[in-house]
Amino acid sequence: MLKAIIDNIKGLYSLLVGLSITGRFLLSPRQTVHYPRKVIEPENMASYRGPLELVPGDPDPAQSRCISCQMCVRACPGHCLTVTKGASGKSPEVWLYDFTLCCLCAACVESCPTGAIRFSHKVYLVADSREALHLDLLGQLKSSAKQTS
């Protein structure tokens, strides 16, 4: 009986603690960003997982580091990736990525021996059809290399 009473008084105290926490949150500044008026700071984007992108190669940013080893293709639980080796050398000829199937699990990123893939930070990506989300990452890499140069 005494224990139950003490427990309940402790419980009441915990209710006050809860109220003080939400009360503090009530008065502290908001965290949400209003999209069209403001965008998220780049430093807050570091951990954001957008659709995959290929890491630009070292001497030539239009070239991928990929060696077409198929590790990522096998690791992917959603079968989103298609990598085809080119006729000459190890570099890939086709690097397709189906974002509609991707669960952003990072199995591919972790399994890649050369660190050729990473998550992009495209928060505001919008597509109007499924096909628009079947991405050609090699093409993207080439066009972005052209843009920066």
Site residues, ligand SF4 (CB under 6 A): 52, 66-72, 75-78, 80-81, 83, 102-108, 111-114, 116-117
Return the exposure string of 93-121: e unless at least 16 CB atoms fall within 10 Å of the residue's CB, then b.
eebbbbbeebeeeebbbebbeeebbbbbb
39 binds another protein (CB under 8 A): no
CA distances (Å), origin 97, targets 22, 51, 60, 67, 70: 43, 9, 22, 16, 13
Query: By the 8 A CB rule, do 149 and 82 touch?
Result: no
Smallest gap, in angstroms, from Cβ of residue 88 to ligand SF4? Answer: 16
Identified binder of another protein from the candidate list 2, 26, 46, 126, rule CB under 8 A: 26
Q: Which stretch binds another protein (CB under 8 A): 29-37, 63-71, 110-118, 126-134?
A: 29-37
Residue 22 contact among another protein, ligand SF4, none, beta carbon within 5 to 8 Å by kind: another protein
Closest-CA residue to 68 (of 88, 96, 91):
91
Stretch that binds another protein, among 31-39, 72-80, 95-103, 112-120 (CB under 8 A): 31-39
Lookup: tokens for 87: 């006729």
Contacts with another protein, residue ranges (CB under 8 A): 8, 15, 18-19, 21-23, 25-32, 34
